[in-house]
Amino acid sequence: MLSKRKQPSSKLTKKLSPEKISSPAATTPKDVDPRICGLLDAVKRGWYRLETGELFTGFKVTCDDIVLDVGCGEGNAILFCAKQGAHVVFSDIDAAKINALIDKAKKTKARKVEGFVSDTTPLPLPDEYATKILAMEMLEHTVNPEKILAELVRVGKAGAEYLITERE
């Protein structure tokens, strides 16, 4: 049994060209960032749990934490942590991303914001600095992941929690 196709809302149709809408894909305005869809999927899988303060299920971030994110990219994870009031520290090899993220993070309730350009070997941080350490989908892009992991252990405080992810 075929279901009747829903028509887009009048708000949405104003953003679309006046051409006939012939497919569900055509109902998405051109100015919608496709990462939003990925973010919604991530929330469904247990990421970015604002109601509990968990970046991921079981990985709670509080205002008492110092969170380090290496290879932060656009910074979704670090912005979540900043909104929890944590001291956030982040690095990436792309200076433009770091500068943009510093500006965004400073507009949150982050206790402190530190961003720097680094390939993570070494990190310009003292030993036993961070309470939470993130390395999300970045190790696959490195030549020596073992060296990076050793550096993450060096800057983690005793009892630090690590959230390390890879695509597959």
pLDDT beyond 80 at 84:
yes
Residue 79, amino acid: L
Domain 38-165 belongs to what architecture? 3-Layer(aba) Sandwich (3.40)
Q: What confidence score (pLDDT) does residue 22 get?
A: 41
pLDDT beyond 60 at 125:
yes
Q: What confidence score (pLDDT) does residue 109 get?
A: 97
Q: What confidence score (pLDDT) does residue 127 get?
A: 98
Predicted TM-score (pTM) of the model is: 0.77
Which range is least confidently modeled, 14-18, 60-64, 75-79, 103-107?
14-18
**What is the domain partition of the chain in residue ranges?**
38-165
Mean pLDDT of 15-30: 43
Q: pLDDT-derived band of residue 25, with 50, 70 and 90 as boundaries?
A: very low
Q: Among 157, 88, 96, 148, which Cα is nearest to 127's?
A: 157
What does the DSSP assignment read for 46-89?
TEEETTTTEEETTEE--TT-EEEEET-TT-HHHHHHHHTT-EEE
Q: What confidence score (pLDDT) does residue 141 get?
A: 85
What does the DSSP assignment read for 77-133?
HHHHHHHTT-EEEEEES-HHHHHHHHHHHHTTT-SEEEEEE--SSS-SS-SS-EEEE
Q: What confidence score (pLDDT) does residue 163 get?
A: 97
Query: What's the chain's average pLDDT?
Result: 83
Mean pLDDT of 38-59: 87
State the number of CA atoms in the 13 A half-sphere of 74 facing the CB. Answer: 5
Cβ atoms within 10 Å, residue 119: 14
Q: Which residue has the tokens 């500006």?
A: 103
Q: Tell which wins on pLDDT, 15 or 151.
A: 151
Q: What confidence score (pLDDT) does residue 60 get?
A: 98
Chain length of the chain: 168
Query: Could you tell me which residues are beta bridge partners of residue 164?
Result: 135
